[in-house]
Amino acid sequence: MRLFIAIQFDRQVLNALTHFQDELKKCAVIGNYTKADNLHLTMAFIGEYNDPDAVLSAMKTVTFKPFEIELDGYGRFGEIFWAGVSGEKKLTSLANQLRQALSDADIPYDKKSFRPHITLIRRTSFRGDNRIPVECISDCGMTVKRISLMKSERGKNGMIYTEVGYIEG
């Protein structure tokens, strides 16, 4: 079972993100756009691991208070086009706590540095020049009250992400 820990977004943030994706499409940005149902912010990627209950138990050792995040900027990592979020200090602290809980429980996870972002497009390319043709992403935010354990499965129309458990702040 392929697992990851993530923040899922409320409808307002999802609407802002999908509107931004629509603007990118109008500007001839091509690639594999992330479906609205799959937009999230990964806190820790676990990968193949067949004991979600153990992961949830580790997650439950982490406590946090609800906090605010806002959409903030965008950029590229190679062929990945992403949206940024404010509140990096709190996000990084929470991600570090979650990752430490996974380590303490001997649950393997991807140890790449945490860089909070929302993947909007994979295999991004631009028709014409190689610039980002949209001025900005709309101001929008939410209160993070819940961290989800997600399962990723390949379906006939792409990846399907399903929440299998969560912790609340």
Q: What is the DSSP string of 139-156?
A: P-EEEE-EEEEEEEEEET
CA distance 109 to 44: 7
> Between 28 and 37, where is the model more confident?
37
Stretch 70-74: mean pLDDT:
91
Q: CA 11 to CA 98: how far, in whole Å?
A: 25
Instruction: Please write the tens of the pLDDT for every residue from 108-141.
Output: 999 999 999 999 999 988 776 656 656 667 778 9
Query: What stretch of H or E contains 83?
Result: strand 80-85
Residue 34 has pLDDT above 80, yes or no: yes
Could you report the per-residue pLDDT of 152-167, keeping only the tens digit for each? 998 888 889 999 999 9
- Range 77-103 burial, b when 16+ CB lie within 10 A, else e: eeeebbbbbebeebbeebbebbbebbe
Q: Which two tokens stand for residue 158?
A: 């792409």
Domain boundaries, the chain: 2-168
The whole-number pLDDT of residue 16 equals 93
The residue among 112 and 88 whose pLDDT is bigger is 112
Question: Residue 133 has what pLDDT?
Answer: 57
Q: What is the CATH number of domain 2-168?
A: 3.90.1140.10
Contact 135, 64 (CB under 8 A): no
Confidence (pLDDT) at 111: 94
Taking alpha carbons only, the member of 147, 138, 169 closest to residue 70 is: 138
